[in-house]
Amino acid sequence: MISRFTDCYSEKQSGPIGGYWKYPLVSLKDALVSVSPKVNGLARDIKEAYDHCHFPSEHDLTKDEAAAVFLYTLEAGEYSFYAILNRALRDEERRKLTPWFSYLKLFDTALEKLPTVKKCIWRGVPQDVSQDYVEGTVKTWWSVSSCSSGVNVIEDFLSCNDDSTLFMIEAVNGKDLTGYTTYPNEKEVLLKMGTKLHVRSNAMKHGKLRLIHLLEIDNNNQGEIPATAAVAPSISSSLPSSAAAASCIPPKPPNTTIHRKCYIHFR
């Protein structure tokens, strides 16, 4: 199942995304004129976004800004708006991203107004990508990354029988989409495009599931990241001693019986 929480990707060493912030703010409809041929049914999606977005907004988003966020969360499998946008954001040829700049300006402006999340959030990938996440290194996620503050939300999109990866992310600049999405119960938190993440640990494996512990890097915590690629302690040994990190781990439900659904337990 394709979902924005498990959008499969291969992040390459691309150049920075620059220039979109210089564009003027325009309506959502005008912002997407240049990309309309790339997205099937975009006119109808835009209408849905205008009709159902969270407006008036207690966070002072304009209707176009609220609709821009709602549009991003619409699900249509591989034809989803977010999937097409994220493919463009991951493209190494940055000039191909230019038609999206007006939307990125509107979307980024909306996200800046939303509450900031500073806690552990979760994201999954329906394959084993652990070989790409070496402890002590820094990764850049160029695309917009949908996460959830509830691990059970991500669990629902991962198969018990296939290789998969679960990211536990200590967020410092996540954006809370509560009330602004198509699916209000998914506790969605966005990491903005170009988010840098320090690989704290890549040590835990549960069956075919790999757990990778990441720390979001910003200007305020840059000095806390080791200058060299020192190996971080394993999650199993370090997390219980850290109150902040341990709070990320959901408690094991009592008397749990495993049936069809794959339950993930951490001690």
Check residue 5 and give its pLDDT: 52
pLDDT tens column, 59-114: 999 999 999 999 999 999 889 999 999 999 999 898 999 999 999 999 999 999 99
Q: At residue 212, does pLDDT exceed 80?
A: yes
**What is the pTM for the complete model shown?**
0.80
Residue 99 contacts residue 36 (beta carbons within 8 Å): no
Mean pLDDT over 164-182 rounds to 95
Q: Half-sphere exposure of 29 toward its Cβ, with a 13 Å CA cutoff?
A: 6
- Per-residue pLDDT, averaged over 161-178, amounts to 93
pLDDT confidence band for 220 (50 / 70 / 90): confident
106-142 pLDDT, tens digit per residue, is 999 999 999 999 999 999 988 899 999 999 999 999 9
